[in-house]
Amino acid sequence: MLKGVFPVEKFNTIPTPFYYYDVDLLQETLDFAKTEADKYSFHLHYAVKANANPRILSIISGYGMGADCVSGGEIQAALDAGFPAQKIVFAGVGKADWEINLGLDHDIFCFNIESAAELAIINELATAKGKIASIALRINPEVDAHTHIKITTGMKENKFGINLSMVGQVLEELKTLKNVRLIGIHSHIGSQITDMSAFRNLAIRFNEIQDELEEMGVVVEHINFGGGLGVDYYHPNHIPTPAFDNYFAVFHKLLRIRPGQQVHFEPGRSITAQCGSLISKVLYIKEGEVKKFAILDAGFTELLRPAMYDAYHRMENISNDDPVEIYDVVGPICESSDVFGKDVELNKAHRGDLIALRSAGAYGEVMASQYNCRSLPKAYFSDTL
- pLDDT (0 to 100) of residue 2: 78
Quote the CA–CA distance of 136 and 224 in Å, as a whole number. Answer: 9
- All residues at 6 or more sequence positions from 318 whose CB lies less than 8 Å from its CB, including other chains: 3, 4, 6, 8, 11, 354, 355, 356
Residue type, 15: P
Whether residue 323 lies inside any domain: the answer is yes
Say yes or no: 77 and 36 in one domain: yes
* pLDDT tens digits in sequence order for the chain, 385 residues long: 778 999 999 999 999 999 999 999 999 999 999 999 999 999 999 999 999 999 999 999 999 999 999 999 999 999 999 999 999 999 999 999 999 999 999 999 999 999 999 999 999 999 999 999 999 999 988 776 554 454 444 445 565 789 888 898 999 999 999 999 999 999 998 899 999 999 999 999 999 999 999 999 999 999 999 999 999 999 999 999 999 999 999 999 999 999 999 999 999 999 999 999 999 999 999 998 889 999 999 999 999 999 999 999 999 999 999 999 999 999 999 999 999 999 999 999 999 999 999 999 999 999 999 999 999 999 999 999 9
Say yes or no: 260 and 282 in one domain: no
Say yes or no: 331 and 344 in one domain: yes
- pLDDT (0 to 100) of residue 141: 86
Whether residue 65 lies inside any domain: the answer is yes
**CATH code, domain carrying 322:** 2.40.37.10
Whether residue 1 lies inside any domain: the answer is no
- Boundary (domain end) residue, out of 239, 273, 307: 273
Say yes or no: 29 and 152 in one domain: yes
Quote the CA–CA distance of 114 and 97 in Å, as a whole number. Answer: 15
Number of domains in the chain: 2
Whether residue 44 lies inside any domain: the answer is yes
User: Helix count (H) and strand count (E) of the chain?
Assistant: 11, 17
Beta bridge partners of 316: 356
Whether residue 167 lies inside any domain: the answer is yes
Say yes or no: 234 and 353 in one domain: no
Quote the CA–CA distance of 198 and 140 in Å, as a whole number. Answer: 14
Beta bridge partners of 281: 354
Whether residue 3 lies inside any domain: the answer is no
Whether residue 314 lies inside any domain: the answer is yes
- Residue 19 near residue 378 (C-beta atoms within 8 A): yes
Say yes or no: 255 and 311 in one domain: no
| Positions of E strands within the chain | 18-21, 43-47, 66-69, 88-90, 110-113, 133-140, 162-163, 180-186, 222-224, 262-265, 276-287, 292-296, 315-317, 324-330, 339-347, 354-357, 379-381
- Boundary (domain end) residue, out of 273, 294, 323: 273
| DSSP-assigned letter for residue 6 | -
Whether residue 2 lies inside any domain: the answer is no
Quote the CA–CA distance of 115 and 224 in Å, as a whole number. Answer: 17
Beta bridge partners of 265: 44
Say yes or no: 184 and 287 in one domain: no
Say yes or no: 226 and 332 in one domain: no
Say yes or no: 184 and 102 in one domain: yes
- Boundary (domain end) residue, out of 241, 273, 305: 273
Residue 145 belongs to domain spanning: 23-273
* CA 28 distance to own-chain centroid: 18
**CATH code, domain carrying 198:** 3.20.20.10
Say yes or no: 90 and 191 in one domain: yes
Say yes or no: 366 and 237 in one domain: no
Say yes or no: 229 and 337 in one domain: no
- pLDDT (0 to 100) of residue 150: 43
